[in-house]
Amino acid sequence: MDGVLTDSEPLINAAAVAMFREKGLAVQPEDFRPFIGTGENRYLGGVAEKYRFPLDIPAAKHRTYEIYLDLVPAQLHAFPGAVELVQACRQAGLRVAVASSADRIKIDANLRKIGLPPETWDAIVTGDDVEHKKPAPDVFLAAARKLGLTPEECVVVEDAVNGIQAAQAAGMRCVAVAQSFPAERLSAADLVLPTIADVTVESLGGEVSAPSPVPGDPPAPTLARPVPAGPWRFWATLGFSLIIAAAFVGAQTAVGVGLMIAAAATGHEPIGQGVRDGTNGLFWAVATCVSAPVEASLVCFFAWLRRGISLRDYLGLRRVSGRRLARWCLALLLLCAASDSLTWLLGKPIVPEVIEEAYRTAGFVPLLWLALVLLAPLSEELFFRGFLFAGVLHSPLGSWGAVGLTSLAWAAIHLQYDLYGMATVFVAGLLLGYARLRTGSVVPGLLMHALMNLLATLQVALGVM
């Protein structure tokens, strides 16, 4: 952020000099240069150590930020070309993140001032999110995890020596812009360009060489690999999603027709009753067992068709630690408890009547459990929080558009519920989508979806018994 997107280095430098002056120590602006990019703790603490000046870092940082934030409205500007590059990356289907050693308060103020507010990014990592600041690789590795990418799939744009070292330690490609340091100080980067206005989407992938070097200087290295294609664009995603939805409905319709024909042929009317109004549990179970593989297969096929991005990256099929999964499941349990409490306060049944009727008419109950607890969560999460989410995420709607739109679409398929029931599904979808956004993985949503269905099925079973 600092020195790459925004011309903020002079402002934080002036604020730090003023803070030290208030404390009775005269420091020079150039004293801070070795600590650029290392975070404010080291930025201030390193200068205090140089002068052997005792400094309360938290208090000093707080005062420095107060002075800095007063300067931002009138004096902070984006570097020419910075906003345009971010927009071009998004339009090209790339995921974009801010990875900064600064504190969140500074990051938010800077991004809002230059017209790239936090919600427009796929991920933001701050100095508070990691144990070790640059030149350690922690901040870049954390950003890659949030984006759902491997380090090899990422390219870092940096302006500082410490940042280049951090990118290299993270195993990432690095394009340097000589906006804070002379180009010769940045020669360790894969590509050195004069300013961020000279960076293009193509140059990030190594398709354009650096400017011609000065005679006698060694040629600057270039990147070798092309930019990943990213998921299908928004309208292609929507078109493929409609095909998947049509196949899903077709499979369920075929099962319904088959059950009604079987009922007529055998004279066993119960197996055909409730198919049209969605209260037949046997229909639920068989239709899900048939349509879920169809839906999942088409999702994987259309994602596979998109070259330049792996199926794992497209659908977010990434491992998540057991501890993080446990936290997300706890959040889901708290949401379920709050939802049931509100339902009870409103005088509505905790278990809708349509669900109880479906359980009574399930015929072979284990098949219903298989459908609701395993197959439905798997196919729906691959589609909604996998395929559809990825397409919307890399559209102008961005991250919150992806969370909201997929939640709305997911709620819309639950036509067996009333409006209140569909609203609860929508709210649950927001949590599942947020988990997908935060972890870069579809696994937490899949597990929470399965847990939610398991709890609901247990409630139905206990109620029917």
DSSP single-letter state for residue 150: -
pLDDT of res. 344: 92
Q: Residue 247 pLDDT more than 70?
A: yes
Overall average pLDDT of the 130-137 stretch: 85
**Domains of the chain in sequence order:** 9-75 (1.10.150), 82-204 (3.40.50.1000), 234-464 (no CATH)
Q: Residue 94 pLDDT more than 50?
A: yes
Average model confidence (pLDDT) across the chain: 85
Confidence (pTM): 0.56
pLDDT band for 269, please (50, 70, 90 cuts).
low
The pLDDT tens digits for 306-345 are 876 778 878 888 777 888 899 999 999 999 999 999 999 9
Q: Residue 220 pLDDT more than 60?
A: no
Overall average pLDDT of the 131-152 stretch: 88
